[in-house]
Amino acid sequence: MTPDYPVTLDVRGRRVLVVGAGPVAERRVRMLRASGACVDVVAPRATDGLRALADAGEICWKRREFEPGDLTGPTRAWLVHTATGRADIDDLVAREAQAEAIWCVQAGDSSRSAAWMPAVGVGRGDADGLQVAVTGGGDPRRSVALRDAILVAMETGDLPVTRIRGTEATRAERTGRVALVGGGPGADDLITVRGRRLLAHADVVVTDRLGATGLLDRLPQRTRIIDVGKTPGHHPVPQWEINEILVREAKEGQFVVRLKGGDPFVLGRGGEEMLHCAAHGIPVEVVPGVTSAVAVPAAAGIPVTQRGVTASFVVASAHDGPEHVLAAARSAAPDATLVLLMGITRLAETAAGLIAGGRARHTPVAIVESGWTDRQRVTTTTLDRAADDARAAGARNPAVIVIGDVVTVRHELQALGALAP
């Protein structure tokens, strides 16, 4: 059982004595003044900040060493802080305070103190109005580290900070809005900090089957989730209806997050959704995501550009056949890396078209399935064998196909032991 008993003190109008006037003492004085305490400071020297407070009449500063009578005169102190930097003086103050039954906080050595000052922080943004106080078992540095971690979690949405009381009553009066949030390539922790924060405060989440969908289980129970996920050849909710859902929910005063895999504006139809919302007067915010076109090859140890290999890459959708891929390849540098999304189904046609268009038959190819998840699998092959090898391996979407000499970097990393075979 720990010996400390957490409590919050109301110091308004009460006399608090601070012994010492260095930087630590100044922080304590400013917090006490902000809380409404009447502060007396005893110290032969003071920081410029404390001097300014004394000159302004906000504190009473006695320019000398501590004397036992300081605890009880001119009026009895209600609380004492000692932060002189000298153990002998701090101990003297603590002994005198104990004799007078006055609580004393020793900043220099918490193990010799009868009271502790927590690390305090105030939330910002959606956490505005929340105060965090952490004792850390009397370890000041530990307290500060924990406080900072909690504040970050509050700001990023990992801790719930949304107001609950009054939310339903005010929703009808609110102006709805939409945020198009890129969820990244698959791993839950690859969503941006901003995207994670907005997701935590959403009233409605309209989600795909890709991206940081694991975060949905950690949302507040009040959050309504609408799944519009598409699979190849199966679109249960067409794009026009998704657009209408965003507008309808926002017009009801909801904050709607459209959670998409990768980046909303990289083959994610985010532009269409943004235009539709804007046309209906709905405010739209776009939060970029880590695009799968670059991140998934990286997960397999494949940079899409590499000095001495290629200085450019092209991203294309192969879902509707090779036409878009071939057009992109024709306009790109001969050595440019081709990154194909949604290309498994028609890979045979795409590969044949690229070879007919001049790409070497033995151009290295990597097929990366379910990148950044525990189901990730990589199949390396060549352009002329890509379709057969994908079929033999049972390759399935979601997958990213990388075509180009940069694929050999993966082999080099494997030879160095930096990647599993």
Catalytic residues: 208, 230
DSSP 360-409: -TT-EEEEEESTTSTT-EEEEEETTTHHHHHHHHT--SSEEEEESTTHHH
User: What does the alpha-carbon distance between residue 333 and residue 143 come to, in Å, rounded to a whole number?
Assistant: 56
Task: Give the Cα-Cα-Cα angle 158, 160, 163 (nearest 5 degrees).
Answer: 150
User: What does the alpha-carbon distance between residue 338 and residue 342 come to, in Å, rounded to a whole number?
Assistant: 13
Task: Give the Cα-Cα-Cα angle 59, 62, 63 (nearest 5 degrees).
Answer: 125
User: What does the alpha-carbon distance between residue 323 and residue 345 come to, in Å, rounded to a whole number?
Assistant: 14
Instruction: Evaluate whether 298 touches 401 at the Cβ level (below 8 Å).
Output: no
Chain mean position to CA 64: 49
Instruction: Evaluate whether 256 touches 204 at the Cβ level (below 8 Å).
Output: yes
Coil/strand/helix, residue 184: strand
Residue with tokens 């009040």: 222
Instruction: Evaluate whether 325 touches 354 at the Cβ level (below 8 Å).
Output: yes
User: What does the alpha-carbon distance between residue 312 and residue 35 come to, in Å, rounded to a whole number?
Assistant: 59
> Is residue 274 packed enough to be buried (19+ CB in 10 Å), middle (13-18) or exposed (0-12)?
buried
User: What does the alpha-carbon distance between residue 195 and residue 289 come to, in Å, rounded to a whole number?
Assistant: 8
HSE (side-chain half, CA atoms, 13 Å) at 165: 0
Return phi, psi of residue 227, to 5°: -90, 115
User: What does the alpha-carbon distance between residue 146 and residue 90 come to, in Å, rounded to a whole number?
Assistant: 26
What crossing angle do the helices spanning 23-34 and 48-55 adopt, rounded to 10°?
A: 40
Nearest alpha-carbon partner for 23 in 46, 41, 57: 46
Residue with tokens 């979601």: 398
User: What does the alpha-carbon distance between residue 46 and residue 164 come to, in Å, rounded to a whole number?
Assistant: 45
What crossing angle do the helices spanning 323-331 and 347-356 adopt, rounded to 10°?
A: 30
